[in-house]
Amino acid sequence: MKRKLLWLLLMGASFGAVVLVRRRTVRRSARVDLYYEDGSMVSLEEGSPAAARLLSIAADLLRAARS
């Protein structure tokens, strides 16, 4: 019985660690998603020239909204 409890505790801790690592890596990346009226979407990753300009505008808007 103790062995099963230890196994479940280890699996739960492992799952929690995976979730935390995943959340931290997702937060680091920024991207711009452009949605068009026809239902299509273009995703611009951080580092692309088009995204750099839009991300700086978005950061300015977020700073203004927080203050």
- Side-chain-facing half-sphere of 28: CA atoms under 13 Å: 6
55, 32 contact by CB (below 8 A): yes
Q: Is the pLDDT of residue 27 over 90?
A: no
The domain ranges of the chain are 2-66
pTM of the model: 0.48
Nearest to 55 by CA among 25, 27, 33, 22: 33
Q: Is the pLDDT of residue 42 over 70?
A: yes
What is the spatial distance between Cα 1 and Cα 3, in angstroms, rounded to a whole number? 5
Going by pLDDT thresholds of 50, 70 and 90, the confidence category of residue 26 is low
Residue pLDDT, tens place only, 9-20: 999 999 999 988
Helices (H), the chain: 2-28, 49-66
Report, as an integer, the average pLDDT of 33-60: 89
